[in-house]
Structure 1
Amino acid sequence: MKQWLVFPRQKVGLVCVGKPVRCSGQESCSNWRAISRTQILLHSFLLFTFLLSPIAAGAVDITQQLHRSLNSSVGRQSRDEADSLLSIGEQQYASGYADKTIASCLRALELYHSIDDLKAEGLTYNLLAKAYVQLGSLKEVEDSLRRGLAIARDTQDFQAQIFVLNNIGTFFLQQGESAAASKTVEDALAIAHGVKNIEGEGLSLSNLGLVAARLGDYNKAIKLYENALIFRRQTGDAIAEANTLNNLGDAYLASGNYQDTIATYGTAMQIAKTNRDRTNELRAIDGLVKAHSAVGRYERTFDLLEQPLTLAKELQNLREELKSFESYAQLYKQQGNYLTARNFYERAIILARTLEDSKQEVQLLDQLTKMLQLK
């Protein structure tokens, strides 16, 4: 997603309305017009918790990515406050509180703007986009991505361009704009290849695999993921490797190859667990649950389901806890145990209300209602 997040499938319009903040001018705006699409509506569900990847994709604290050399004490104070806000925003996002993340980011943006730190602004726009995705505010997602790309072009930051273009490609893909997504990610791949950015090549190839998978060409997707793994392993980035392995597992699962599905997800889970990469660990477990359930291995499925619920409680991540309750409900429903399934649906609905996620609440209520009609 991934460093890709799967967005709801609607059409999207990335239109440059006026001159973007920090935009270098006509070149940036014309590029946005060239990829404009129709107005968007949302019916939201997120397959992955891993929203748009940071510009620097390593597993480091976000404040370590920012410059810290300022002469004035006022500037240093502003930077420290902004860095703290951005770090808090990351924690709020990881816990599922997108609205609080946005508030922290907007304040951080004001401070970074006051000290003229473009790189930090770009990182902040990236986190803002992730939070807006979680809320389903697609107009704001579009604006944050557009501004982030304008900053990357204005500063001649090729690495930032690679990653922001990949994020934009993600946005197009999940709105059902596969052709635009492919073109955007191919542009990112061309830049990565031109500047010999191995990390960017691996990410772009992995995301092109997602485009192929969305189009139903799983054989092509598998080849792209395998090629991406070569680059991702060269960087030594275990998180990136686990992410692409999860993508590969998805392709095997969609094509009905359960043996390779289980092996691939299993590898991703072990790598993620070793590196305390909870996002990819949870995603791999989710894939394993689906694969074992598909072949009727229910005992193993229930064993696996205990792990994400334990992790979600450990991380105090209510959104992941909600997903676990929903998975339990669906599994019990599949076995015909409607009473227990109803219990888990109701627990998931309570969490959706706590998160003030009305769309998720409606979807869960609909699933519960349909199940009760089967009794």
Structure 2
Amino acid sequence: MKQRYLLSGCYVLLFIGLLSPTVGSAADITQQLHRPVSSSSGRQSREQADTLLRIGEQQYASGFADKAVTSGLEALEIYHAIGDFKAQGFTYDLLGMSYIQLNRLKEGEDVMRRRLAIARDNKDFQGQIFGLNNISTLLLRKGEPIAAGKTLEEALTIARHVKNIEGEGLSLSNLGLVAIRLGEYNKAIKLYETALTFRRQTRDPVGEANTLNNLGDAYLEARDYQETIGTYGAALRIAQTSRDRTNQLRAIDGLVFAHSAVGRYQRALDLLAQRLNISQELQNLREELKSLESYANLYEQLSNYPSARNFYERAIVLAQTLADSKKEAQLTNRLSQIVKR
């Protein structure tokens, strides 16, 4: 199995929010891996575990991190039962990134440390590269960019030593995230541009779209809207071709922000229509909620208060469906401000 779990960019735009997971905690993983192997689990085939892992990867790419965790845990139990350490490492990659998407950092750190330990024990240099990159993502989420940068420099050194092009591109891309966190936007742009050359060599469309979205973030922070729109547009085209819904939605969010900033409101509305359709096709209520909230904000910006009220009301209904009381309160407050106008 080829390592294909890619790091999510620091999402610097609007409406970050994720579904609450329904899976076990880090302690559950330990209990699961150290319980006696039953006869039924012993009969589970490697093919079944591989299928679960592929399903988990698809679920993660489609924005269903909670479902990816469930699939990953099932695969992990089988791989542990048959003693496949390399496959366990791949599964920990998926679990780690899924936990990060769900903002469950404790569980994420646990599985990432396990993944790195397996890679080091087996002198798996590619596993070390990806493990270190994943840990750097966690450190960025925790607000520790300096520590993340040092971790990535170690990953980059290993990648260059063993001439791992995929790992070098990933490490450079994530060093760009560190530069953005430190406010070094020009440095971030250069890192992303270099990373793209490696991503393209490996013919990795998901990685290329992710790095392009990161580059779009850097241009956006630098207020270079022309380059921002061009870069997010390139990410969107690649993501559409590869059916990479995660990067597709992220590119649309960037384009909506950038087009709105330069007064191209109709283009922003057209993109939001695409976003809402994708969310509904995926039956992803969280992403649908983000789409409705984006619509409401844009119409409010345009002083079209009847349309803004309509989308806020629809978003509130979805927040209630998701039992997200915090989001419901935020939306209700925004709606009350609209009603007063």
Is TM-score (shorter-chain normalized) higher than 0.5?
yes
In structure 1, give the amino acid aligned to 2:7: Q
Residues 93/291 of structure 1: CA separation in 2 closer, same or farther (3 Å cut): same
Match of 2:130 in 1: 163
Residue 8 of structure 2: which of 4, 10, 13 is its match? 4
Distance 2:153 2:201 in 1: 21
Unmatched segments (≥5 aa) in structure 1: 9-43, 48-72
Shift of 1:360: 4.2
Matched, 1:192 2:159: yes
Cα displacement (A) at 1:91: 4.8
What residue number does 2:88 align with? 121
1:272-299 per-position Cα deviation (integer Å, ceiling 9, x unaligned): 2222222222222211111110011111
Match among 258, 267, 273 for residue 300 of structure 1: 267
Question: Per-residue deviation at 1:97?
Answer: 4.9
Inter-partner Cα distance in structure 1 for 2:63 and 2:300: 27
In structure 1, the residue matched to 2:174 is 207
Does the CA contact (< 8 Å) of 2:17 and 2:286 recur in 1? no
> Is the helix fraction higher in 1 or 2?
2
TM-score by length of 1: 0.76
TM-score, normalization by structure 2: 0.83
In structure 1, the residue matched to 2:201 is 234
Alignment equivalent of 1:223, drawn from 190, 195, 218: 190
The structure 1 residue matched to 2:234, chosen from 243, 267, 275, is: 267
Contact 1:96 1:319 in 2 (8 A): no
Q: What CA deviation, in whole Å up to 9, does each residue of 1:290-331 have, x standing for no partner? A: 111001111111111111111222222222222211110110
Runs (5+) with no aligned partner, structure 2: 19-39
Deviations 1:66-111 (A, max 9, x none): xxxxxxx986733233334334444554565544443333332222
Q: C-alpha separation between the residues in 1 aligned to 2:292 and 2:135? A: 32
The match for 1:181 among 148, 163, 168 is: 148
Partner of 1:140: 107
Please tell me the residue identity of whatever aligns with 2:126: Q
Distance 1:355 1:285, change over 3 A: same
Q: Following the alignment from structure 2 to structure 1, what is the Cα–Cα distance between the partners of residues 58 and 81?
A: 24
Deviations 1:135-165 (A, max 9, x none): 3322111111111111111221111111111
Query: Which 10-residue stretch deviates more, 97-106 or 291-300?
Result: 97-106
Match of 2:79 among 95, 112, 118: 112
Greater shift in the superposed pair: 317-326 or 125-134: 125-134
**Change in CA separation of 1:103 and 1:240 when aligned onto 2, cut-off 3 Å:** closer
Find the counterpart in structure 1 of residue 47 from structure 2: 80
More displaced stretch, 80-89 vs 211-220: 80-89
Distance 1:127 1:293, change over 3 A: same
Task: Give the secondary-structure state (helix, strand or coil) at the position aligned to 1:227.
Answer: helix
Tell me, yes or no, if the aligned pair for 2:279 and 2:287 is still in contact at 8 Å.
yes
Aligned position for 2:27: none
What secondary structure sits across from 1:77 in the alignment? coil
Report if the CA contact (8 A) 1:338-1:372 is conserved. Answer: yes
The 3-state SS of whatever aligns with 2:123 is coil
What residue is the counterpart of 1:289 in the other structure? 256
Task: Report if the CA contact (8 A) 1:2-1:244 is conserved.
Answer: no
Sequence identity of aligned pairs in percent? Answer: 66
Distance 1:246 1:372, change over 3 A: same
Structure 2 vs 1, CA of residues 256 and 84 (structure 1 numbering), >3 Å: closer, same or farther? same
